[in-house]
A and B are shown apart, each in its own frame.
Chain A
Amino acid sequence: MSSAPAITRQETYDAIVVGSGISGGWAAKELAEKGLKVLLLERGRDVKHGDYPTAMLDAWDFAGRNRITATAAGRQEKQGRTGYTTHPASAHWFADDVDHPYAETKRFDWMRGYHVGGRSLTWGRQSYRFSDLDFEANAKEGVAVDWPIRYADIAPWYDHVERFAGISGQKEGLPQLPDGEFLPPMEMNVLEKHVKRSIADRLGGRVMTIGRAANLTRPHLGRGTCQYRNRCSRGCPYGAYFSSNASTLPAAFATGNLTLRPFAVAAEVLYDGARGRASGVRVVDTVTLEVIDYRARIVFLCASAVASTALLLNSVSDRFPNGLGNDSGELGHNLMDHHFKVGASGITDAFADRYFRGARPNGIYIPRFRNVDAKSRRQDYLRGFGYQGSASRSDWTRGIRELGLFGGEFKKALVTPGPWQFGIGAWGECLPYHANHLKLDRTRRDRWGQPIVVFDCGWKENELAMRKDMQASAIEMLEAAGLKEIKGYDDVVNSAPGNCIHEMGTARMGRDPRTSVLNAWNQVHAVPNVFVTDGACMTSNGCVNPSLTYMALTARACDHAVGEMRKLNL
């Protein structure tokens, strides 16, 4: 426990939400709309919708074109590990690794967005539902612990969040990828349509669908239609994709019940041992270093999986010497991410006279087809994977790889589009392993006195066996489509845990307080007025992009919390 800080003031609210990203924005909106006075804490700066400094810039407007300065890159060494996050158009949406250090027993790529909106500004926007294939897997296979919920519990909440967020997509009727409340789908281009037909015809009806994306294909609840600029990660001036800034926070502010407090890093959840409840959250003002205690009847932790877990681990008391709610010893364990950067690409001479207009900020999706029924059962690994990808015509950047070419003809060729190419990469499920964990190093602290996080997480046999099939199946599909120059790849080194930015699982939901941290309503088992609804709550990680599930679980938990408050249980 930190030495007695100087508490300069106290304020009281009905609810405190920690973190303003996808989960925190939803918690703020749902709780405020239900009439609660909500304090939303954000450790970083404020970002109002529209305050996106690079949104309208072209490549030539950046001094280094596609690069940030060497000095800036040196301050974002870890944030740059994805290869795309620290592009000058979006680097300001990622944390400074010097000011925000963490340690790695094994490499872990922890991408963080420290500003209002968090990573909702930069997320990939792919939005898929988990199915009972996911919710039942642990129980059926005897892996880790059972999810305390099933698809029927979350389905109405998927409906609820999809209606507000606006998800474009195509219904396919697949049990492993439930359909949702979709806006009109985006269209596939000519090569994508060809590949779709080919794999359906030649691989037993295998499905390829357009990506289900939180990009608007028509005006929706006051937000504008996608303009097909594919500059989403800069922030969208049209509000054409879902972010906290464009979507949930304006709705929450409209109630008059929301107070936003940026520059406030949560240091610990305050625990009232006499009542057996949390009493609020202690924060450090990141600018003045003032320490402030905010009080509330309920606390929602939505700071992202790792940060919410670290906050609980740092909240120690006589009752909880190992971190708030950590009776099970599972807090910080079962860290998961999706493993990816494996797949294949190929080209074709076909459609040479066809092209497209507009930069579609979305690709195609090939839903999981392994271990979905008896026929697709694999002996070499559990669970499965889905593919994301797209077809396009290469542009001048191909010239960088054409090392033997130069001169006038070379220059002329690069002005024209190259051959059509199609590439897919697989996103694979990772099992929850107790050994994969994070912990706090209390001997090392950041500028605000908070202990730093240490990661120890790695892929194991199941993931590595799955990767072989992820590559082989990609090649098989491209061959079925008749592509040429097919190249498989498996960059397992750069698919380090964290790199997919789907980190989750470190405060898992479960049925038994002895083996899990949260119950079926995302409440900390032993401290029921603390809810954790970001990725930390996940009991397994499926193979689909998880943000939509965080939204649905958050809205569901908010509804439960307010119901319990009305019944005076909280």
Chain B
Amino acid sequence: MISPENSSTTGMLSRREALQRAAFLLGAALSPSIVAGVLRAQPAAAGARLSGEHDLALAALAERILPRTDTPGAADVGVPAFIGRMFAEFLTTAERSTLTSGVTALDLGCTARLGRPFAALEGAQQDDEIRRLIGSKDAAEREFLRLTREVVIVGYFTSEKIGKTLLRYEPVPGRYDADIPLSETGGAAWNRP
């Protein structure tokens, strides 16, 4: 499911087409924010990239791991695009293989058992699938979940929006206060330096 990209322009077009096709086939169950988030992804100038189906499944998975509540969800801060970028340029060959095999197996399993790929399931069904992965005895499934969670959590909490709004952002503290009441940050943790 990894296809090379010859130029960013044609890559973007084929990517957009592939996504639109995948989204069309999956139907109305997809969250518009997830599709938009995936479409915003900047494909690498050169390198592997995820197929449209895989993009959507991982974006849906990301949104269930860190969903929109009264604060932004994974799609709101660009995690789907981040997953695509990580896949294209930053993950190792073994990690890319873990992601593609894992998401392929997830979609095949969901389709066999529930009649739809992961991205097209209801939220509660998606959560059940995640719980199944958590309890899985299969090492490949566990590693797929571990890696996906890591990329999603890193992508979310290292985004500018979360770093500057949910976390406390003070890039140049200027001093060290060894003991302050937690209430001084409103109960929030510091953004990582």
Chain A, 175-197, CB within 8 A of any chain B CB: 186-190
Question: Looking at A64, A73, A399, A411, which has the most chain B CB atoms within 10 Å of its CB?
Answer: A411
A250 to chain B, nearest CB (A): 23
Chain B, 84-108, CB within 8 A of any chain A CB: 85-86, 89-93
Q: Is the CB–CB distance between B89 and A58 below 8 Å?
A: no
**Residues of chain A lying within 8 A (CB to CB) of residue B145:** 403
Nearest-neighbor residue (CB-CB) of B130 within chain A? A406
Residues 151-168 of B, flagged 1 when their CB comes within 8 A of A and 0 if not, give 001111111100100110
**Residues of chain B lying within 8 A (CB to CB) of residue A307:** none
Q: Is the CB–CB distance between B85 and A60 below 8 Å?
A: no
Q: Is the CB–CB distance between A358 and B160 below 8 Å?
A: no
Residues 140-178 of B, flagged 1 when their CB comes within 8 A of A and 0 if not, give 001001100110011111111001001100111111111
Contact residue among B91, B150, B185 (Cβ-Cβ distance under 8 Å from A400): B150
Contact residue among A70, A412, A417 (Cβ-Cβ distance under 8 Å from B90): A70
- Interface hit among B18-26, B33-41, B63-71, B112-120: B63-71
The reply to whether the CB of A491 lies closer than 8 angstroms to some CB of chain B is no
The reply to whether the CB of B13 lies closer than 8 angstroms to some CB of chain A is no
The reply to whether the CB of A230 lies closer than 8 angstroms to some CB of chain B is yes
Are A395 and B189 CB-contacts (below 8 A) given A70-B89, A228-B175?
yes
A225 to chain B, nearest CB (A): 8
The reply to whether the CB of A66 lies closer than 8 angstroms to some CB of chain B is yes
Contact residue among A354, A410, A417 (Cβ-Cβ distance under 8 Å from B189): A417
A483 to chain B, nearest CB (A): 18
The reply to whether the CB of A164 lies closer than 8 angstroms to some CB of chain B is no
Nearest-neighbor residue (CB-CB) of B46 within chain A? A71
Q: Is the CB–CB distance between B65 and A60 below 8 Å?
A: no
**Residues of chain B lying within 8 A (CB to CB) of residue A84:** none
The reply to whether the CB of A407 lies closer than 8 angstroms to some CB of chain B is yes
Expressed in whole angstroms, the Cα–Cα distance for A516 and B33 within the complex equals: 70
**Total number of A-B contacts with CB less than 8 angstroms?**
160
Q: Is the CB–CB distance between B71 and A412 below 8 Å?
A: yes
B2 to chain A, nearest CB (A): 13
Expressed in whole angstroms, the Cα–Cα distance for A360 and B176 within the complex equals: 6
Q: Is the CB–CB distance between A416 and B188 below 8 Å?
A: yes
Contact residue among A231, A356, A400 (Cβ-Cβ distance under 8 Å from B179): A356
The reply to whether the CB of B28 lies closer than 8 angstroms to some CB of chain A is no
Q: Is the CB–CB distance between B154 and A65 below 8 Å?
A: yes
Q: Is the CB–CB distance between A358 and B167 below 8 Å?
A: no
Q: Is the CB–CB distance between B187 and A416 below 8 Å?
A: yes
Q: Is the CB–CB distance between A358 and B176 below 8 Å?
A: yes
The reply to whether the CB of A371 lies closer than 8 angstroms to some CB of chain B is no
Expressed in whole angstroms, the Cα–Cα distance for A413 and B65 within the complex equals: 13
Q: Is the CB–CB distance between A231 and B193 below 8 Å?
A: yes
**Residues of chain A lying within 8 A (CB to CB) of residue B146:** 403
A418 to chain B, nearest CB (A): 8
Nearest-neighbor residue (CB-CB) of A60 within chain B? B160
Q: Is the CB–CB distance between B85 and A64 below 8 Å?
A: yes
**Residues of chain B lying within 8 A (CB to CB) of residue A64:** 85-86, 89-90
**Residues of chain B lying within 8 A (CB to CB) of residue A187:** 176, 178
Nearest-neighbor residue (CB-CB) of B176 within chain A? A358
Q: Is the CB–CB distance between A358 and B177 below 8 Å?
A: yes
B140 to chain A, nearest CB (A): 15
9 contacts between A and B (CB under 8 A): A56-B171, A58-B160, A65-B154, A70-B93, A353-B181, A357-B175, A359-B176, A359-B193, A407-B65
Q: Which residues from chain B sit less than 8 Å from chain A, CB to CB? A: 64-67, 69, 71, 73, 82, 85-86, 89-93, 127, 130, 134, 142, 145-146, 149-150, 153-160, 163, 166-167, 170-185, 187-193
**20 additional A-B residue pairs with CB within 8 Å, beyond A59-B158, A69-B89, A357-B177:** A59-B191, A65-B158, A68-B90, A70-B90, A71-B89, A188-B178, A190-B179, A227-B173, A227-B174, A231-B193, A355-B181, A356-B176, A358-B175, A393-B189, A397-B153, A399-B153, A406-B66, A407-B67, A411-B69, A417-B190
Q: Which residues from chain A sit less than 8 Å from chain B, CB to CB? A: 56, 58-60, 63-71, 73, 186-190, 226-231, 352-360, 393, 395-397, 399-400, 403-404, 406-408, 410-412, 414-417
